[in-house]
């Protein structure tokens, strides 16, 4: 019942805001339903950690600690994105009154997008999870192309073509896993339930499982933005409206990674941990290398944030490669920290773009002096994203590296640290250009209203608090990590 | 026991799926291409139907009906709508020319048979032995995606990939459970609708579009 509520609430918000679209204030209803999702998911997490798994809709939905954690991430970022989305849409309608009709469809699509992500993490069946992840592609394509400029259309075309191919490969992988499960006597309807796959995992045919998992990593890896199927990501994340970039970069890519984690648990039981480890280390290091090399020469601050996502997905993949509970707990903490920091940065970048009218790094100067709040949020957000204390990304990166050393992946950890150092200097260089410098003109600049800056600032405070006191999360993280580790 | 007429009917339908994929590489007219795609969807539906009747599997027969309706009729009709809106009917300058593409597809077919040995030895049935045809269709779909530049061709490439995977699923496990197949088909259908709308917006923005001209975004 609870699970069904979490699933239906965002949808309800979307439908109500469509029905009463004449009144612009109605968009707040979506914010309210997303806040509701966040609230219920926190309750769900407590419940799951203390009392165990929750089932819903006749076993169709299932929440263990890992799912509950992911719903919290989705809820938190959806809340921020839909809140700031009201400001984004207001900027848009102000610059072009014809956009009002589009902004109603925008509101509904965002809510559908959130529902699809929630379904992906709550589905008991890995094929339903696949359907949900594919649905996110379908829904977000129009959101990426929302501005209907040439660039936005091009980005959405590349996005849907590349992601559809990727997700088709993930489906092929799922079919192969299904074949193996049928052979060991799974009853056909339930054979693709994750729990039944785990229970028969030791008897699944190893060579077919290897092939299947390779396809799953390649396929869902496309949506995660891992090399070699990453090429859509910088285009889509930079062209989409800021709240969509925040949702895609903050949660969607990690929802896809969640799918990989679920399959990894099965394949590790079937063929031992070395196979998935090797595969993940390769894609992780390639992604880190690519992100580092392209961040150095970046000229567009939204693309800079997008390549930063590829870096962080590389780090997460490397952490998952280590595979021990400590590593997975750190990966999950990193998913939350990166999600919050990245969505705050994309949302702030949307406000900067609306104010400055450009996404070129070279054309933005002295933000700290001219727009102290936006510049400050952007700067502090980058500090968090680069993994400096007190923010939680610092602790999660440290924990991941420690776990990697423990399992003998120290060399890969060192390589990842080298990439992070390169990225650190590249991003600091770009940020210095944007944030510092003297204010040449004496123009009086309007500062964003409190209801816009409020969520951004409080998001950063929460991020720092999580970094300092991991207390409320630690039991959830370790419970979630044990779900997908033997 | 496998009746020989059943098996030859099945082989014929499976073979037609691959032949359609090869013709898709060969043709350069969008109208013809869409007919080939419809034929392939139809052949795929027949594969499911023959298997369903043979194994008296009601859910597989239902799947067959869904596949016939969506892949044999509905999607080609929609693609034809997009195709008729583009100014010219021909693929202007494919990245890889047709003879080279055909040679490439021969290589892909060999590759498919080699690489799907893991699957065929695992399944180990005469029906499962046909599975490499699905993998070959999938690889040819990839090839079309990379080597052809009109939006309609890219959409067809995607569908070839999808049909190939479906074929493997039918031949190896009598398909995935019906409800899942329904969900998957619905998703793919929606994706094609989205692609179609997008192709029309692209056409109105960029004129008669060549995907190779999409060069606004780069580093």
Nearest CA to A212 out of A187, A192, A186, A185 is that of A192
Question: Do the Cβ atoms of A137 and B176 come within 8 Å?
Answer: no
Question: Do the Cβ atoms of B177 and A189 come within 8 Å?
Answer: yes
Instruction: Give the distance from residue B116's alpha carbon to the nearest chain A alpha carbon, in angstroms.
Output: 10
Question: Do the Cβ atoms of B202 and A153 come within 8 Å?
Answer: yes
Question: Do the Cβ atoms of B187 and A148 come within 8 Å?
Answer: no
Q: Is the pLDDT of residue A331 over 50?
A: yes
**Is the distance from CB of A282 to CB of A408 less than 8 angstroms?**
no
**Between these two residues, B10 and B91, which has the higher pLDDT value?**
B10
> Tokens for A244?
């969509």
How far apart are alpha carbons B57 and B64 in whole angstroms?
Answer: 11
Q: Give the confidence band of A444 by pLDDT, cuts at 50, 70, 90.
A: low
Q: Identify the H or E element spanning A456.
A: helix A450-468
Q: Is the pLDDT of residue A107 over 90?
A: no
Question: Do the Cβ atoms of B187 and A134 come within 8 Å?
Answer: yes
Q: What is the mean pLDDT of residues A391-401?
A: 93
**Is the distance from CB of A258 to CB of A224 less than 8 angstroms?**
no
The C-alpha angle with vertex A125 and arms to A119 and A126, in degrees rounded to 5, equals: 90
Q: Comparing A110-119, A214-223, A401-410, B99-108, which segment has the lowest mean pLDDT?
A: B99-108
Q: Is the pLDDT of residue A186 over 80?
A: no
What angle in degrees, to the nearest 10, is found between the helix axes of A325-356 and A450-468?
160
Q: Is the pLDDT of residue B39 over 50?
A: yes
Question: Do the Cβ atoms of B165 and A208 come within 8 Å?
Answer: no
Instruction: Give the distance from residue B134's alpha carbon to the nearest chain A alpha carbon, in angstroms.
Output: 11
With tokens 């073509």, the residue in question is A161
Q: Which of B173, B191, B202 sits opposite A137 (nearest CB)?
A: B191
The structure's pTM equals 0.93
**Between these two residues, A229 and A445, which has the higher pLDDT value?**
A229
Question: Over the stretch B151-188, which tens digit does the pLDDT of each residue have?
Answer: 888 888 989 999 999 999 899 877 778 777 877 888 88
Instruction: Give the distance from residue B191's alpha carbon to the nearest chain A alpha carbon, in angstroms.
Output: 5
Q: Comparing A90-94, A328-332, B84-88, which segment has the lowest mean pLDDT?
A: B84-88
Q: Which of B173, B187, B194 sits opposite A141 (nearest CB)?
A: B194
The CA dihedral of A176, A179, A185, A187, to the nearest 10 degrees, is: 90
The C-alpha angle with vertex A333 and arms to A331 and A339, in degrees rounded to 5, equals: 100
How far apart are alpha carbons B191 and B197 in whole angstroms?
Answer: 10
Q: Comparing A130-134, A167-171, A326-330, B109-113, which segment has the lowest mean pLDDT?
A: B109-113
Question: Over the stretch A23-56, which tens digit does the pLDDT of each residue have?
Answer: 777 888 889 999 999 999 999 999 999 998 898 8
Q: Which of B172, B201, B216 sits opposite A179 (nearest CB)?
A: B172
Q: Is the pLDDT of residue A59 over 90?
A: no
Q: Which of A131, A160, A165 sits opposite B194 (nearest CB)?
A: A160
Q: Give the confidence band of B92 by pLDDT, cuts at 50, 70, 90.
A: low
pLDDT at A275: 94
B168 contacts in chain A (CB < 8 Å): 172, 175
Q: Is the pLDDT of residue B84 over 80?
A: no
Q: Give the confidence band of A114 by pLDDT, cuts at 50, 70, 90.
A: very high
pLDDT at A382: 94
B202 contacts in chain A (CB < 8 Å): 153-154, 157
Q: What is the mean pLDDT of residues B13-22?
A: 93
Instruction: Give the distance from residue B102's alpha carbon to the nearest chain A alpha carbon, in angstroms.
Output: 22
Cα B135 from chain centroid? Answer: 11
Q: Give the confidence band of B210 by pLDDT, cuts at 50, 70, 90.
A: low
Question: Do the Cβ atoms of A154 and B214 come within 8 Å?
Answer: yes
Instruction: Give the distance from residue B101's alpha carbon to the nearest chain A alpha carbon, in angstroms.
Output: 20
* A54: three-class secondary structure by DSSP: strand
Q: Give the confidence band of A420 by pLDDT, cuts at 50, 70, 90.
A: very high
| b/e burial code for range B120-129 (CB count within 10 A of at least 16 → b) | bebbeeebbe
Cα A156 from chain centroid? Answer: 18
Can you spell out the DSSP letters for chain B?
---HHHHHHHHHHHHHHHHHHHHHHH--BHHHHHHHHHHHHHHHHHHHHHHHHHTT-HHHHHHHHHHIIIIIIIHHHHHHHHHHHSS-SB--S-SS-HHHHHHHHHHHHHHHHHHTHHHHHHH-STTGGGHHHHHHHHHHHHHHHHH--SHHHHHHHHHHHHHHHHHHHHHHHSSS-HHHHHHHHHHHHHHHHHHHHHHHHHHHHHSS--GGG--S---
Question: Over the stretch A226-282, which tens digit does the pLDDT of each residue have?
Answer: 988 888 999 999 999 999 999 999 999 999 999 999 999 999 999 999 999 999 999
Q: Is the pLDDT of residue A75 over 80?
A: yes
Q: Which residues contact residue B201 at a Cβ distance below 8 angstroms, ignoring those fewer than 6 apart? A: A145, A148, A153
Give the residue from chain B lying closest to A307, CA to CA. B219
With tokens 């995606």, the residue in question is B145
Q: What is the ipTM of this complex?
A: 0.90
Measure Cα distances from B201 to A171, B80, B205 in Å: 29, 16, 6
How far apart are alpha carbons B127 and B11 in whole angstroms?
Answer: 9
**Between these two residues, B26 and A338, which has the higher pLDDT value?**
A338
Q: Give the confidence band of B88 by pLDDT, cuts at 50, 70, 90.
A: very low
Q: Which of A131, A188, A234 sits opposite B177 (nearest CB)?
A: A188
| b/e burial code for range B67-76 (CB count within 10 A of at least 16 → b) | bbebbbebbb
Instruction: Give the distance from residue A167's alpha carbon to the nearest chain B alpha carbon, in angstroms.
Output: 10
Nearest CA to B144 out of B115, B102, B87 is that of B102
* A444: three-class secondary structure by DSSP: coil
Q: What is the mean pLDDT of residues A330-359?
A: 92
B191 contacts in chain A (CB < 8 Å): 134, 137-138, 160, 164
Q: What is the mean pLDDT of residues B19-41?
A: 89
Q: What is the mean pLDDT of residues B90-111?
A: 78
How far apart are alpha carbons B192 and B195 in whole angstroms?
Answer: 5
pLDDT at A366: 81
How far apart are alpha carbons B96 and B26 in whole angstroms?
Answer: 11
Question: Do the Cβ atoms of A176 and B119 come within 8 Å?
Answer: yes
Q: Comparing A251-255, A287-291, A389-393, which segment has the lowest mean pLDDT?
A: A389-393
Question: Do the Cβ atoms of B145 and A298 come within 8 Å?
Answer: no
Q: Comparing A90-104, A268-282, A325-339, which segment has the lowest mean pLDDT?
A: A90-104
Instruction: Give the distance from residue B152's alpha carbon to the nearest chain A alpha carbon, in angstroms.
Output: 12
Q: Give the confidence band of B134 by pLDDT, cuts at 50, 70, 90.
A: very high
Q: What is the mean pLDDT of residues A154-169?
A: 91
**Is the distance from CB of A393 to CB of A338 less than 8 angstroms?**
yes
pLDDT at B1: 46
Rounded to 5 degrees, φ, ψ at B29 are -95, 130
> Tokens for B16?
């037609």
Instruction: Give the distance from residue A405's alpha carbon to the nearest chain B alpha carbon, in angstroms.
Output: 34
Question: Do the Cβ atoms of A148 and B168 come within 8 Å?
Answer: no
**Is the distance from CB of A89 to CB of A106 less than 8 angstroms?**
yes
Give the residue from chain B lying closest to A151, CA to CA. B216
A294 contacts in chain B (CB < 8 Å): 219
Q: Give the confidence band of A468 by pLDDT, cuts at 50, 70, 90.
A: confident
Query: What's chain B's average pLDDT?
Result: 83
pLDDT at B208: 62
The CA dihedral of A230, A234, A240, A242, to the nearest 10 degrees, is: 120
Question: Do the Cβ atoms of A168 and B158 come within 8 Å?
Answer: yes
How far apart are alpha carbons A104 and A29 in whole angstroms?
Answer: 13
Instruction: Give the distance from residue B156's alpha carbon to the nearest chain A alpha carbon, in angstroms.
Output: 11
How far apart are alpha carbons A37 and A53 in whole angstroms?
Answer: 18
Q: Domain ranges in chain A?
A: 2-483
Give the residue from chain A lying closest to B185, CA to CA. A131
CB pairs below 8 Å between A and B: how many?
123
Question: Do the Cβ atoms of B165 and A168 come within 8 Å?
Answer: yes
Find out whether the peptide bond into A253 is cis, omega within 30 degrees of 0: no
Give the residue from chain A lying closest to B212, CA to CA. A154
* A118: three-class secondary structure by DSSP: helix
B176 contacts in chain A (CB < 8 Å): 127, 175, 178, 192
Question: Do the Cβ atoms of A207 and B122 come within 8 Å?
Answer: yes
Give the percent of chain B with pLDDT over 70.
86
> What number of other Cβ atoms are within 10 A of residue A424's Cβ?
16
> What number of other Cβ atoms are within 10 A of residue A438's Cβ?
7
B119 contacts in chain A (CB < 8 Å): 176, 179, 208, 211
Query: What's chain A's average pLDDT?
Result: 90
Nearest CA to A370 out of A428, A427, A437 is that of A437
Give the residue from chain A lying closest to B124, CA to CA. A183
Q: Give the confidence band of B87 by pLDDT, cuts at 50, 70, 90.
A: very low
């Amino acid at each position: 019942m609870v699970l069904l509520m979490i699933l239906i609430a965002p949808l309800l918000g979307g439908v109500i805001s469509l029905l009463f679209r004449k009144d612009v204030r109605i968009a707040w209803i979506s914010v309210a339903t997303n806040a509701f999702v966040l609230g219920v998911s926190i309750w769900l997490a407590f419940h799951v950690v203390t009392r165990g798994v929750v089932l819903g809709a006749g076993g169709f939905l299932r929440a263990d600690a890992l799912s509950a954690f992911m719903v919290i991430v989705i809820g938190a970022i959806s809340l921020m994105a839909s809140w700031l989305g009201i400001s984004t849409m207001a900027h848009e309608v102000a610059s072009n009154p014809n956009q009002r009709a589009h902004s109603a469809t925008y509101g509904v699509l965002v809510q559908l997008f959130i529902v699809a992500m929630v379904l992906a993490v709550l589905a008991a069946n890995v094929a339903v999870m696949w359907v949900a992840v594919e649905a996110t592609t379908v829904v977000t394509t129009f959101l990426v192309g929302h501005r209907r400029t040439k660039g936005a259309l091009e980005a959405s075309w590349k996005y849907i073509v590349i992601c559809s191919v990727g997700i088709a490969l993930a489906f092929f992988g799922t079919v192969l896993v299904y074949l193996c499960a049928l052979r060991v006597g799974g009853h056909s309807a339930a054979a693709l339930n994750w729990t039944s796959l785990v229970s028969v995992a030791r008897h699944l045919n190893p060579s077919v499982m290897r092939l299947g998992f390779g396809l799953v990593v390649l396929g869902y890896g496309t949506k995660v933005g891992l090399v070699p199927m990453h090429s859509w990501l910088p285009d889509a994340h930079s062209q989409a409206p800021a709240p969509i970039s925040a949702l895609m970069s903050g949660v969607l890519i990690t929802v896809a990674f969640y799918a990989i984690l679920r399959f990894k648990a099965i394949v590790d039981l079937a063929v031992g941990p070395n196979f998935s480890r090797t595969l993940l280390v390769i894609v992780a290091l390639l992604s880190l290398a690519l992100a580092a090399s392209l961040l150095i020469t970046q000229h567009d601050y939204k693309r800079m944030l997008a390549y930063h996502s590829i870096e962080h997905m590389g780090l997460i993949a490397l952490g998952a490669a280590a595979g021990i509970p400590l590593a997975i707990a750190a990966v999950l903490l990193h998913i939350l920290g990166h999600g919050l920091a990245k969505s705050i940065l994309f949302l702030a970048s949307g406000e900067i773009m609306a104010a400055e009218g450009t996404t070129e790094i070279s054309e933005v100067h002295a933000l700290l002096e001219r727009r102290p709040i936006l510049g400050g949020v952007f700067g502090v957000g980058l500090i968090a994203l680069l993994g400096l204390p007190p923010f939680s990304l610092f602790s999660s990166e440290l924990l991941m590296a420690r776990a990697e050393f423990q399992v003998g992946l120290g060399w890969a950890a060192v390589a990842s640290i080298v990439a992070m150092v390169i990225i650190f200097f590249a991003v600091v260089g770009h940020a210095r250009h944007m944030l510092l410098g003297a204010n040449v003109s004496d123009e009086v600049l309007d500062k964003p209203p409190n209801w816009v800056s409020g969520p951004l600032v409080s998001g950063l405070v929460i991020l720092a608090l999580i970094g300092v006191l991991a207390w409320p999360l630690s039991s959830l993280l370790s419970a979630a990590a044990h779900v997908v580790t033997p | 026991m496998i009746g020989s007429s059943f098996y030859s009917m099945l082989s014929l339908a499976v073979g037609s799926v691959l032949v359609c994929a090869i013709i898709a590489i060969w043709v350069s007219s969008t109208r013809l291409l869409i007919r080939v795609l419809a034929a392939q969807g139809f052949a795929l539906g027949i594969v499911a139907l023959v298997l369903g009747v043979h194994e008296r599997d009601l859910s597989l027969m239902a799947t067959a009906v869904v596949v016939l309706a969506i892949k044999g009729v509905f999607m080609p009709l929609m693609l034809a709508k997009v195709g008729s809106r583009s100014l010219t009917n021909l693929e202007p300058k494919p990245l890889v020319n047709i003879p080279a593409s055909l040679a490439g597809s021969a290589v892909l077919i060999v590759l498919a048979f080699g690489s799907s040995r893991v699957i065929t030895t695992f399944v180990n049935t005469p029906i499962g032995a046909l599975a490499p045809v699905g993998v070959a269709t999938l690889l040819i779909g990839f090839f079309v995606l990379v080597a052809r530049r009109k939006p309609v061709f890219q959409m067809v490439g995607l569908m070839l990939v999808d049909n190939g995977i479906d074929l493997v699923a039918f031949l190896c496990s009598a398909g995935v459970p019906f409800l899942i197949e329904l969900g998957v088909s619905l998703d793919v259908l929606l994706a094609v609708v989205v692609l179609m709308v997008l192709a029309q917006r692209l056409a109105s923005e960029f004129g008669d579009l060549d995907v190779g001209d999409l060069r606004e975004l780069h580093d």
